[in-house]
Chain A
Amino acid sequence: MNRIPLTAWIGLFLIGLNLVLFLFGPLLAPFGQEEIVGAPFDGPMPGHWLGFDQNGRDMLSRLLYGAQMSIGVSLGAVVLSFSIGIPLGFFAAIRGGWVDLALSRLVDTVMSIPVLISALVVLQALGSSLPVLIVTIACLDSTRVFRLARLVAQGINVMEYAEVARLRGEGLWWMIRKEILPNALPPLVAEFGMRFCFTFLFVAGLSYLGLGVQPPFADWGGMVRDNQQGILYGLYAPLFPAAAIALVTIGVNLVVDWMLAGRTIVQGDNR
Chain B
Amino acid sequence: MTTLILKRLGLGLFTLWLVSVLVFAGTEILPGDVAGAILGQNATPESLAALRTQLGLDEPALMRYLGWLGGITHGDLGQSLANHRPVAELLWPRFWNTMALAAYAGVIAIPLAVSLGILAAARRGRFFDRFANIAALALVSLPEYFLGLLLILGLSVRTGWLPSLADTYEGMGLVDWFRATTLPMLVLVMVTMAQILRMTRTTVLGVMDQPYIETAFLKGLRNGRVVLRHATPNAAAPIVNVVSFNIAYLITGVVLVEAVFNYNGLGRFMVDAVSKRDLPMVQGAAIVFGAAYVLLNMIADIAAIALNPRLRHPRAKGA
Contact = CB atoms under 8 A, between A and B. Distances in A.
The SS class assigned to the A binding surface is helix
Interface in B255-283: 255-256, 259, 270-271, 274-275, 282
Contacts of B152: 232
A191 to B, nearest CB: 14
A262 B209 contact: yes
B205 A262 contact: yes
A214 interface: no
A117 B238 contact: no
28 contacts: A105-B14, A108-B15, A109-B15, A113-B293, A114-B289, A117-B252, A121-B274, A121-B282, A201-B143, A201-B144, A204-B143, A208-B259, A209-B256, A209-B271, A221-B143, A224-B146, A228-B145, A232-B153, A249-B140, A250-B141, A257-B133, A263-B202, A266-B238, A266-B241, A268-B245, A269-B245, A270-B195, A271-B253
Given A158-B317, A260-B202, A231 B22 contact: no
Interface string B1-40: 0000000000000111011011100110011100000000
A101 B143 CA distance: 36
A156 B206 CA distance: 19
Given A154-B318, A158-B317, A113 B290 contact: yes
A112 B259 CA distance: 22
Interface string B221-247: 000000000000000001001100110
A270 B206 CA distance: 20
Contacts of A271: 249, 253
The SS class assigned to the B binding surface is helix
Interface residues of A, number: 55
A262 B208 CA distance: 9
A6 to B, nearest CB: 11
A115 B249 CA distance: 10
Interface of A: 105-106, 108-118, 120-121, 124-126, 151, 154-155, 158, 197, 201, 204-205, 208-209, 221, 224-225, 228, 231-232, 238, 242, 245-247, 249-250, 253-254, 257, 260-264, 266-271
